[in-house]
Amino acid sequence: MINISETAQSHFAKLLADQAENTKIRVFVVNPGTSQAECGVSYCPEDAVEDTDIHLEFNGFDAVVDAESAPFLGEADIDFVTDKMGSQLTLKAPNAKAKKLGDDASLEAQIQHMIDTEVNPQLASHGGQVTLVEIADDIAILQFGGGCNGCSMIDVTLKEGIEKEMLAKFPQIKGVKDATDHNPGEHSYY
């Protein structure tokens, strides 16, 4: 699940030596599977270990991962690198932002995955996001939020951006429709 380099294991063991007995390292993902996913490492006192946590044994310490984060930490690498500028702990988790879809994923799951991995990262620069509400009569019904709600450019974003991308990837759908009750305000990007 998680690969921790020998140098990182040594670093964690040294840090934990100054902590209460049986303190572990917790590796986690906040907002897993979204474009806002962030990975972290923290101390985990013995009384904070949950029954559902996954336990991993390393040289000189144990790590725990919560059940929700676990699928997103597959192939994760933690390293402790020292160079001329100093030392740095790195955590690379290639699956943190988007869960891999199985070959049997539904059309809805495939479209939401495309939205999460391709569309929302672009909209996030404007403080916006979109979600798939449903697919009805081969039309993907979408709901916009944040800076996209009330934005005067939403029709262009919908038809020239999102719809073109979706139709190219998913020939099963005939189009997209915006189901958002747009309320322009200070939150709107344009």
What is the C-alpha to C-alpha distance for residues 180 and 177, in angstroms, rounded to an integer? 9
Give ranges for CATH 3.30.300.130 in the chain.
Answer: 107-178
Give ranges for CATH 2.60.300.12 in the chain.
Answer: 2-92
Over its length of 190 residues, how does the chain's per-residue pLDDT go in tens digits?
A: 899 999 999 999 999 999 999 999 999 999 887 767 899 999 999 999 999 999 999 999 999 999 989 988 989 999 999 988 889 999 999 888 866 677 789 999 999 888 887 888 788 777 888 899 999 999 999 998 888 877 778 888 888 899 999 999 999 999 999 988 776 666 445 5
Is the Cβ–Cβ distance between 129 and 115 less than 8 Å? no
What is the pLDDT at residue 190?
A: 55
Q: Which residue has the tokens 């990182």?
A: 8
Token readout for 97 is: 């932002």
Give the CATH class of 107-178: alpha beta
The closest of 160, 166, 71 to 114, measured between CA atoms, is 166
What is the pLDDT at residue 140?
A: 96
What is the pLDDT at residue 32?
A: 83
Token readout for 100 is: 């891999």
> CATH assignment of 2-92?
2.60.300.12
> Nearest 10 degrees: CA dihedral of 130, 136, 139, 145?
-10
Is the Cβ–Cβ distance between 131 and 115 less than 8 Å? yes
